[in-house]
Amino acid sequence: MHGPRSSKVLVMDFGAQYAQLIARRVREHHVFSEIVPHELKASEILKMDPKAIILSGGPKSVNLEHAPRIDPAILELGIPILGICYGAQLLASMLGGVVSRREAGEYGKIEMSVFESIGIMEGMPETTDVWMSHFDAVTDLPKGFQLLASTPDAPCAVFEDATRKITAVQFHPEVEHTVLGNKVFDNFLHRIALLESNWTNYSIIEEAIEKIQLQVGSSKVICALSGGVDSSVAAALVHRAVGKQLHCVFVDTGLMREGEAKTVEHTFREQFEIDLISVDASNRFFSQLEGVIDPERKRKIIGESFIRIFEETALEIRDAKYLVQGTLYPDVIESGTKTAARIKSHHNVGGLPDDIDFELVEPLRELFKDEVRAIGEELGLPEEIVWRQPFPGPGLAVRVVGEVTRERVAIVRAADRIVGEEVTRANLDKRALWQSFAVLADIRSVGVMGDERSYAYPIILRAVASSDAMTADWARLPYDLLERISSRIVSEVPGVNRVVYDITSKPPATIEWE
């Protein structure tokens, strides 16, 4: 072991939209950060040994009778504290300041005047734009605090007690619109809390390897590879930790994107030299999907077949005790439990049932998606896996409206490849475009190609911007990109004579069509 992590920052959550973002910003400064409920007692906090605490924003007013608070003893622990928005008001209120309802709140970008560029405001110019979202404001400071900055409707926008290392900002340093937000985190983490930046890709990998080795000892471990980034990075990490003890299973459903099965086989078998059992189960899937058009039935059939095939194959790997899952930190936060059931029904492996007798290895449980990608790159996984867009477990079957046949899947796969190639060529920001893909409809329309009348299927083009797939906006793709995609699909994919663009957001639509 390299010893315990030397620095951990706890983000105490008051129901903020931005708690995850705060944790990510801290991690971007290479300091480990974890989100915890605000109800934790001082004694529980001490056990976790954080080197700093951040109080998040939240929707309530601190003056309400049942407003969420923290255990007052936390303020006496001597741990540096940063309060953000609601967190700032809570600090003021608990330490003897005054929080009042203002006539007008502040929402959006506001110019802030900085009186003292010290402490949390070290290095700040006299004025800077910050992102605000508040109705109440701190109007009187608690004793011992110094006022550092204000805005028109937040007279005490930034205040600090340098001796106790308690500091408060009314604005949101974690959002991009706060121009110098990074500097605020830098000041808090490095100048006030004096933390070391040692949470790096390298240390994440080292730590994960030690944990995995400790957990599995000399037992066999299996992993269902899906070709997606989470299961791939999880497998690569476990392989780095236990080498030949890892056995991977890849079920080729025949419903994958073009080249996906080959990439998985090549990467894991040849590049990583992992023992990979690849099962071509496409016949089984297509025959079970024959005549099925109901989306939920498709999903159910595919999920169940997947499990059965995985189980059959896993039996060939004798004495395997552990199963790798690519669970990410947001899943852990959302499920609200630190100790999930032995097997969580997880769409990554098609929803394995509870009674499978494996213990879980979840090496990505503490990581956000972008961190997973970064360590995937570090581990040498190819870009096409690391940067692959999310893809539904049931694969192209839910992108073929109507009956799923080998021929119809081939059509949507070819169209999807063209969409992918053109989007890549257009160099769109990978982060801005969450997904872009083709859907095959089950209606036909009349067209004319050459001198011939055609009567063929349309391809529906779907492209969305999103940060978490919970909501999504249809992407404003450039017209010339749309044109290239459309003309290539119609001329290169037999059976398609029209391309339409889906301009519906989520909600009310979903991202996938089924």
Active site residues: 85, 172, 174
| Nearest CA-CA partner of 56 in 169, 192, 195 | 169
105 to 144: interface string for ligand XMP, x by CB under 6 A: ----------------------------------------
- CA-nearest of 388, 387, 397, 389 to 350 is 397
In the complex, the smallest distance separating the C-beta of residue 435 from ligand XMP, rounded to whole angstroms, is 6
321 binds ligand XMP (CB under 6 A): no
Single out the residue of 393, 475, 486, 498 in contact with ligand XMP (rule: CB under 6 A).
393
How is residue 280 annotated by DSSP? E
Give the distance, in angstroms, between the CA of residue 444 and the centroid of all CA atoms in the same chain. 38
How far apart CA 462 and CA 286 sit, in angstroms, is 25
Instruction: Give the residue with the Cβ less far from ligand XMP, 100 or 345.
Output: 345
Stretch that binds ligand XMP, among 92-100, 385-393, 423-431, 438-446 (CB under 6 A): 385-393
At residue 126, the 3 state secondary structure works out as coil
Among 106, 207, 252, 512, binds ligand XMP (CB under 6 A): 512
Q: Are 111 and 127 in contact (CB under 8 A)?
A: yes
Q: Is 43 among the residues that bind ligand XMP (CB under 6 A)? A: no
Q: Compute how many residues bind ligand XMP; rule: CB under 6 A.
A: 12
Alpha carbons 368 and 327: distance in angstroms, whole number: 10
Q: How many residues does the chain have?
A: 514
Window contacting ligand XMP (CB under 6 A); options: 261-269, 273-281, 377-385, 505-513:
505-513
The least CB distance from residue 226 to ligand XMP, in Å, is: 8
Rounded to an integer, what distance in angstroms lies between the CA atom of residue 333 and that of residue 342?
17
Q: Among 513, 235, 290, 482, which Cα is nearest to 404's?
A: 290
Q: Does 469 bind ligand XMP (CB under 6 A)?
A: yes
Hey, how many other C-beta atoms are within 10 angstroms of the C-beta on 123? 12
Asked if 511 is part of the footprint of ligand XMP (rule: CB under 6 A), the reply reads: yes
Interaction with ligand XMP in 337-376: which residues (CB under 6 A)?
347-348
Residue 450 CB contacts under 8 Å (≥ 6 apart), including other chains: none
**Tell me, what DSSP letter sits at residue 472?**
B
Kindly state whether residue 390 participates in binding ligand XMP, applying the rule CB under 6 A: yes
Contact call for residue 392 and ligand XMP (CB under 6 A):
yes
Per-residue binder mask for ligand XMP (CB under 6 A), 428-457, x = binder: -------x----------------------
What are the angstrom distances between the C-alpha of 405 and each of 28, 127, 290? Answer: 46, 63, 7
Residues of the shown chain interacting with ligand XMP in the complex, contacts defined by CB under 6 A: 347-348, 390, 392-394, 435, 469, 506, 510-512
